[in-house]
Amino acid sequence: MRHSPTQRVIHGLRDRRSSRNFSGPRDIRQILRPEFIATVLGGVLLIASPGRATEVGQQLPREGDEIMVCGQLFHTTAPVVLWTDPGGYDAYRVERRFSDWKDASWEASKRDVPSLDTPNRYGVRESLLTPEELARVRGGGWDLPLLQKTVDQFVMHYDVCGFSQTCFKVLHDNRGLSVHFMLDIDGTIFQTLDLKERAWHATISNARSIGVEIAQIGAYPNGDDSTLAKWYSVDEQGRVSLKPPRTTSSMAVRTQPFRGRPDRPELIVGTIQGTKLQQYDFTPQQYESLIKLTATLCRVFPKLKCEYPRDANGALIDHVLDSDEWNKFQGVLGHYHVQKNKTDPGPAFNWDKVIDGAQQLLDAAK
C-alpha cells in the first residue's frame, strides 16, 4: 500500500521506536534535532535531511498519471497527458491547433470558420454560484472545497472521430466546443482544461459536470454496417480488431504500433432513446483507464457518486432523464441521459464494468 509523505513519516517513527536498537529518550532527541525537524509547507510534510533543505529551482517530479483540479495534482495510476505537456491538447488557446499558423489566429479563425462565434471554448460554472462566489472565482480563483460543492456529474461521450487528435480538432478548431478529458484508443487520457472550468460538452449539465470523450467511431442503426466496416476487421478466427484509416491522427496515438481490439468481440445491439443500435465495444485499455479516472473523480468530488442512472428495478435507464430525475441525479451518466438527441456512449458501453471496477478501487483506498 502506498502511503502519503505524512503517513511514511509516521510509520518511520513507529518503526524506529519499535526497533531493537531503540534506546529511549536519547533516540527521540536525535530524531528531533533541528536538522531533522519536519517543515510544514502548504499542508505537505517535508523532511529535511542534514544539509538538504528545499532548494531554489528544485524540480518537483511528476509521475505521468496526474490530473489537475483547481491547480492541484491528483494521481489516477493511468497514463495522463496534461494540456501543458508535450503532445497535449490545450483548450485554453484561442487560435486553431491544426490550421496553418498564419491562419490560426482568432481574427483569421472567425473569418474562415463562421461557426466560431467566441475566442473562448469554455466558461465559468456561474449558474451554481452565489454572486459573492462568482466575484471570487471569475478570475480563476477557485478553491477545491467550492468546486467539490459544485461538481456532481461525470458525463460519458463517444467522439465519433475514432482518435483523440481528431476529436480535439473537431471540438476546438471547427465547433468552438471543449471537454475536460479525451480518452484515446490505447488508454491515454488527455486533459485539456483544469476541472474548475465549465467545458462546453453537455448543454444543461455543463455547470455541474466533468466530461470525457472516448475515442470511438460510435453506434449506428441496426443493420447499417457501412461505417463499422471501415473501422473494424474480422480475421479467419473471427477475431475483431480496429482497422482505422491511416491518417495523421492514427499516427498520433501515443502507443505505436497499436492494434486495438474491442473488449468483447461480438457486435453489440441495444436500444437507446427507443432506437435499436449496433456498436463494437471499447478497448480494454480504454476501460482500464476510465475505471481509474472514474474512481479518482469520485474520490476527489464527494457529491459525485459511483453509480449510473437506474430505473425502479435497478436496470440501466436507456433514455434521457426527465427534469426531476436529472436534477436529483449525482453520479456517472451518458450524454444520452442529458439530451434526447444523443445516443453516446452507446449500447456497447459496459456500465457495470466501469462502475464496479471504480468502486473496487475506492474500497481498496479506504
Mind listing the pLDDT tens digit for each residue in 42-98?
444 444 445 568 899 999 999 999 999 999 999 999 999 999 999 999 999 999 999
The alpha carbons of the chain give a radius of gyration, in whole angstroms, of 24
Q: Are residues 12 and 99 in the same domain?
A: no
Cα angle value 268/269/273 (rounded, 5°): 130
For residues 92 and 100, what is the distance between their CA atoms, to the nearest angstrom?
18
Q: What is the pLDDT of residue 259?
A: 87
In a shared domain, residues 21 and 97: no
For residue 55, is it within any domain? no
What are the backbone angles phi and psi of residue 31, rounded to the nearest 5°? Answer: -65, -35
The domain in which residue 322 lies consists of: 66-220+272-365
Planar angle of CA 53, 54, 55, nearest 5 degrees: 105
User: Residues 22, 122: one domain?
Assistant: no
Residues 39 and 86 occupy one common structural domain = no
pLDDT digits (tens, 9 = 90+) for 259-287: 899 999 999 999 999 999 999 999 999 99
Q: Are residues 167 and 313 in the same domain?
A: yes
Question: Helix and strand tally (H, E) in the chain?
Answer: 12, 17
Which three three-digit cell numbers place residue 220?
449506428
Same domain, 81 and 174: yes
Residues 11 and 75 in one domain: no
Residue 172 lies in a domain: yes
**261 inside domain:** no
| Mean per-residue pLDDT over the chain, rounded | 88
Measured N-to-C along each axis, helices 351-365 and 284-300 cross at an angle, to the nearest 10 degrees, of 50
Domain membership of residue 313 (yes or no) is: yes
Sign of dihedral through CA atoms 277, 279, 282, 284? Answer: positive
Residue 193 has pLDDT above 50, yes or no: yes
The model's pTM:
0.85
- Tell me whether residue 262 is in a domain: no
Tell me, yes or no, whether 74 and 32 share the same domain. Answer: no
The cell numbers describing 75, all together, are: 494521481
Please check whether residues 76 and 12 belong to one and the same domain.
no
Residues 11 and 94 in one domain: no
Q: What CATH number corresponds to the domain at position 133?
A: 3.40.80.10
In sequence order, which residues have a C-beta less than 8 Å from that of residue 224 and are 6 or more positions away?
278
- 53 found inside a domain: no
In a domain, 34, yes or no: yes
Q: How far does CA 65 lie from the centroid of its chain?
A: 11
Identify whether 60 is part of a domain. no
Q: Does 139 share its domain with 18?
A: no
Query: What is the per-residue pLDDT across 23-49, written as a single tens digit (0 to 9) for each?
Result: 444 443 443 444 443 443 444 444 444
Tens of pLDDT, residues 87-140: 999 999 999 999 999 999 999 999 999 989 999 999 999 999 999 999 999 987
pLDDT of residue 5: 43
In the chain, the number of structural domains is 2
Whether residue 163 is found in the same domain as residue 78: yes
